[in-house]
Amino acid sequence: MTMRRSTAIAAAFIAALALGTTSAQAQGTLRIGMTSVDVPTTGGIPNNGGEGYRFLGFPAYDALVNWELKEKQDDIANVRPGLAESWSSDPKDRTKWVFKLRSGVKFHDGSAFTADAVMFNMRRVFDEKAPEYDAPAAPIVKSQLSMVDRWEKIDDMTIAIYTKTPFAYFPYMITRLLMVSPTQYEKVGKNWVEFGKAPSGTGPFKITKVTPRVSAELAKNADYWDKDRIPKLDRMILYPMPEPTTRLAALRSGQVDWIEVPPPDAIQSLKQAGFEINLKPYPHTWPYVFNTVSPKSPFTDKRVRQAMNYAVDRQALVQLLNGTAKPAAGLYPPESTYFGKPENRYSYDPEKAKALLKEAGYGPGKPVKAKIMVSTAGSGQMLPLPMNELIQQMLKPIGIELDFEVVEWGTMLVAVRSAPDSAPSMGVDAINISLGFADPSTMYRYYHSDSKSPTNWNWAHFSNPKADALLMAAQTEFDEEKQLDLLAKAHAIIVDEAPWLFIVHDLNPRALSKKVVGFSPAQSWSQDFTTISMAK
């Protein structure tokens, strides 16, 4: 995105906000400034990564299994029954998962949720020959649920989903598949674009109005099936605002009540002005995912990858972010039970980095040269341009010269789901993308050989037989203690092999007006908006 275009979009946001301020100040309306460039898609498969699911996924839709966002606030969010009252893995066939569906649930259009609706949603994502297959959106879900093999209706309120191999973490994964109304799809002419204009889910909020590039509005679903989670708010209005200064200006002027990722240098003044600054660790990491397979990529050499991990001053980045992140030493933080005992504990050690580069054949007259895909903004991306500029500056004296391919967030999400040698990847040597570790299957998706993109999220095309064996054993192990031991051993190997540059973990900063009451942040990429009300 050019600076001129970015400025024009910011001006449009401010104009739209100014026009809508009077109506938006109605009692019980929460207005949020997101980091996304555009309104995430609204048809039940949101784009824009975790932010899309946070604001226009889980509030308006349910999955068979939902995230538990109210309990265990001091731990990573777990799962709870959603549209399935219960589920189980068949002891005689661990590839078979049986889901008992919740009765009495209605979609926003009034139609009933049944097993047939689940079958419809499965075909939307996985059956390329089905008339309802959603080719543009399906890969967003399919890349997360690549283990799904087939499905069947057992009766009107029971379904079975089969995985290709035993997959102990499957209940965590099925949270990605949100249920939409087949009746509404028929009503709008069997067209997913039209469905997105008048969507229908089962969630606690209804999407009522979408203005591309400007806003999306959601209203309370007073008939929500979970009576404990009927929203206190009347409405939520979501505004895409990729520029931090635009979000800040909108908050200070009272045009929004909540912004994601306030500019770090404004945090102290916001506190002094009476705004709440909300920080909470959550399952987030901000790495460079290295291209480990293309012959031209310097990151095919493990020594170069390790050198990068010793060459970055993570504390300087934390300082740039005014303490809203913490240093990363792996996918998981060192205090995690999944971290294991790697031989390498990455810290800022430029001399060790230089020694590794020398061993790999680089030196003062032959620097490492690499092109990195970076985004202008995006879900969990924090301040990607200033952060990458600082990394570029700190690496050059060590003998690593970075060039950047700057893209919008949606472009990056397409790239990371594609192969590293494909056109969407633009020939880069690494992708700087925020990623999560919300469930135990995370490492399998990011690092197992079977998960190489475009099948799943291993864009690095990293392959290590020992890690593969441990990750496969863990996903087929239904004893949690044994599973944990296998995952910790796999993580130690991954840290030492360094398929990623592990940089920082975000602390999920957001700034809230003192009018926002009842928000209790969960350690999750999603949040519960049903507890929130607005003070007069």
Please spell the DSSP secondary structure of 269-300, one letter per residue.
Answer: HHHHTTPEEE----SEEEEEEE--S-TT-GGG
Nearest to 161 by CA among 105, 222, 90: 90
| CATH architecture of the domain with range 1-60+203-279+508-536 | 3-Layer(aba) Sandwich (3.40)
* Res 1: pLDDT: 39
HSE value, Cβ hemisphere, 13 Å, CA-based, for 174: 32
* Res 364: pLDDT: 84
pLDDT digits (tens, 9 = 90+) for 32-52: 999 998 999 999 999 988 899
HSE value, Cβ hemisphere, 13 Å, CA-based, for 120: 17
* Residues in the chain where the model's pLDDT stays below 70: 1-27, 71-74
Q: Residue 452: beta bridge partners?
A: 458
Between the two ends of the chain, the Cα-to-Cα distance in Å is: 39
Q: Classify domain 62-182 by CATH number.
A: 3.90.76.10
- Residue that is written with structure tokens 């504990």 in the block: 345
pLDDT digits (tens, 9 = 90+) for 480-515: 999 999 999 999 999 999 999 999 999 989 999 999
* Res 73: pLDDT: 60
* Res 75: pLDDT: 79
Structure tokens at 330: 């792996």
User: Domain segments of the chain: what residues?
Assistant: 1-60+203-279+508-536, 62-182, 284-506
Whether 236 contacts 204, CB under 8 Å:
no
* Res 30: pLDDT: 98
* Res 26: pLDDT: 43
Pick one of 3.30.460.80, 3.10.105.10, 3.40.50.720, 3.40.50.620 as the CATH number of 284-506.
Answer: 3.10.105.10
Burial letters for 17-36: b for 16+ Cβ neighbours within 10 Å, e otherwise? beebeeebeeeebbbbbbbb
